[in-house]
Structure 1
């Protein structure tokens, strides 16, 4: 067989596979859990006069033949086919994540694919500080922060300083906990935030460095610091006691003077 004939046949096969959608990557469809989503069959008026079939991970879930629709029991009342054969999924669940395949059957077979990803609601990240990791020098003090989220999937967790991205980590597994550490310099003028996001939404936790890293703002020598603090407290206590004693002595003196005057007045009468 001539080479050009082989080339033509290979081209014809490629064109046929392309026509039925074998080389089409599924369209990405992000959906928030509980929301509804409609997947368009793109069926023309001539095509929808025949048959439109929907499959979820290779399981037939809906069929549309000349206006009559049937549905798989798994989805119960959550599926709806319109007159064009487009599929609406109501009250979406995490288990609805997967590939939906629409086959339009008429004079030729045409395939549409959708990769639907159902995202759970995002909680606001929790940020904690580890004061045992503090480090100090004559010019600066630093402390270690940890941003955490639980039971997440298909998300990215990031640290920002102002609008600048410092670090990030992504995960695609289901229902796991995720943490991202960050060492920061103790300066009030710096604004930090931890952000968790998926393709639909994001949640942000703004961080007050002054509150979280308060214990990291002490001088490098804790022994000296605590010693100086103790001496200062002792001086304050002694001063207060001296003041109280002086006030008490003054009150006693005034009372003694008044008592003597009263006694003199009594003797005169």
Structure 2
């Protein structure tokens, strides 16, 4: 009886050594990054940290503190999304999606012990809010109304005023363009006359100097 009790105690101690912590829950919004802490302060020589997706699932990342390794047959959902900290062995999943939800397991192997931690990751999608700013559509006219009951359409004074104002604005814009063009032509002509006058004055001065 005593031997059975000792055996059960040893089994419990072994389980505690393997799963050092209880299952940790981590939540993240879709599109953001999440980091799963290994619990290691600094990886020592001969240490090895392995990450798996699912309990005893396929290997997705491994590091010994010097080299980070990702399997060639890595699941496409993790392709170019995993990062390993070479100092602590913590795993970061970038640009998370709903397909990244699940259980992650880290196995820490040292020269003295072997420990496992598990995490359950939940990726929550962003909620879309309905657009309430758009006004509701007007209901279609009733088919029961007869054509004779429809009053004849006539242009309202406000519509005429708007058309007249628009015409005035257009005319004013055209007038401004014409005035601007004329001012530009006048400025160019004045510049040409000024240059010609300067040239003529310079020529007279040079001729006078030559004669003297």
Partner Cα separation in structure 1 for residue 130 and residue 23 of structure 2: 32
Runs of 4 or more above 6 Å deviation: none
State the distance in 1 between where 2:16 and 2:44 align.
Answer: 18
Distance 1:48 1:28, change over 3 A: farther
Is residue 79 from structure 1 mapped to residue 75 from structure 2 by the alignment? no
TM-score, normalised relative to structure 1: 0.43
Structure 1 position 65 matched with structure 2 position 64:
yes
Q: Deviations over 1:41-93 (max 9, x none)?
A: 11243657410000012111001124211114332211110121000110001
1:123 positional shift: 2.6
Cα 1:76–1:46 change in 2 (3 A) is: closer
Three-state SS of the structure 2 residue aligned to 1:30 is: strand
C-alpha separation in 2, matches of 1:53 and 1:40: 12
CA distance in 1, matches of 2:50, 2:8: 29
Determine if contact 1:101/1:113 at 8 Å carries over to the other structure. Answer: yes
CA RMSD of aligned residues (A): 2.2
Shift of 1:125: 7.3
Match of residue 90, structure 1, among 84, 87, 94: 94
Could you tell me how far apart the structure 2 residues matched to 1:56 and 1:113 are? 10
Inter-partner Cα distance in structure 1 for 2:83 and 2:45: 15
TM-score with structure 2 setting the length: 0.54
The superposition leaves residues 118-139 of structure 1 with CA deviations (integer Å, 9 ceiling, x where unpaired) of 111113479xxxxxxxxxxxxx
**Residue matched to 1:17:** 15
Aligned length: 124
Structure 2 residues without counterparts, runs of 5 or longer = 133-212
| 1:48/1:123 CA distance change after superposition, 3 Å | farther
- CA-to-aligned-CA distance 1:174-202 (integer Å, 9 cap, x gap): xxxxxxxxxxxxxxxxxxxxxxxxxxxxx
Are 1:118 and 2:117 an aligned pair? no
Higher helix share: 2
Match of 1:146 in 2: none
Q: Which residue of 1 aligns with 2:146?
A: none
Contact 2:43 2:65 in 1 (8 A): no
The 2-side partners of 1:105 and 1:86 are apart by 14
Separation of aligned partners in 1, 2:109 and 2:130 = 48
- The 3-state SS of whatever aligns with 2:4 is helix
Distance in 1 between the 2:7 and 2:103 partners?
Answer: 31
Higher relative contact order (CA 8 A, sep 6+): 2
1:30/1:48 CA distance change after superposition, 3 Å: farther
